[in-house]
Structure 1
């Protein structure tokens, strides 16, 4: 049996795992707006404890975690209304080169950014 015939079955088992690792963390659509892009205005709803929600808004400045404003926790109806107002405003703001928006239906728990290391 040639040497490659012994290696081929192992390669076929490992290749999909290696390829999956290459695309881990990539957006489904690479051309979609990202918070880290300079000029991208963003608004997303974050789930809070006790069935509450918070609205997180900001504008991408080219860093991985741009500065953002987070509202106090509020109910579903209040956060939906705040999200709709913010989305409408971002769509007409000339400084918003792109808009990234995630509604309450896509809410994930809020994770505070780590403070930057002082040098």
Structure 2
């Protein structure tokens, strides 16, 4: 678990670099932006990374790894529903598996 928390900032930094820079679009480097995104792993499994931006370029996130397509879709849907009611989420940046390029 510790390794995941240490690796998360590096993975998040890569995602911040590739994210949309549209004016007004929520970004996970903005304080109060709840984020969730799915990344493919080797072997056909997926990783779900979630968290709340704290204003830093690479906010800490929680990763769930080794998930099947069905598991990651269910976990993403649950996290997304929580974001809708979480008062800490001032903005939401979410990218489901369907929007994730295949590896």
User: Which TM bucket (shorter chain)?
Assistant: 0.7 to 0.9
> Which residue is equivalent to 1:30?
23
Question: What's the CA shift for 1:69?
Answer: 0.5
Superposition map of 1:1-80 within 5 A: 27=20, 29-80=22-73
Q: Structure 1 residue runs of 4+, over 4 Å off?
A: none
The reply to whether residue 83 of structure 1 matches residue 86 of structure 2 is no
TM-score by length of 1: 0.67
Question: CA distance change for structure 1 residues 88 and 75 in 2, over 3 Å: closer, same or farther?
Answer: same
CA distance in 2, matches of 1:88, 1:27: 23
Superposition RMSD in Å: 2.0
TM-score by length of 2: 0.76
How many residues are treated as equivalent by the alignment?
86
Once the two structures are superposed, what CA deviation does each residue of 1:24-79 show, in whole Å capped at 9, x if it has no partner?
Answer: x6725221100100000001111111110011000001111100000021100110
CA distance in 1, matches of 2:40, 2:85: 27
The reply to whether residue 102 of structure 1 matches residue 95 of structure 2 is yes
Give 1 or 2 for the bigger CA radius of gyration. 1
Q: Relative contact order, CA 8 A, sep 6+: which one is greater?
A: 2
Task: Please identify which structure carries the higher strand content.
Answer: 2
Once the two structures are superposed, what CA deviation does each residue of 1:84-110 show, in whole Å capped at 9, x if it has no partner?
Answer: 00000011000100011000012258x
Q: Tell me, what secondary structure is at the counterpart of 2:74?
A: helix
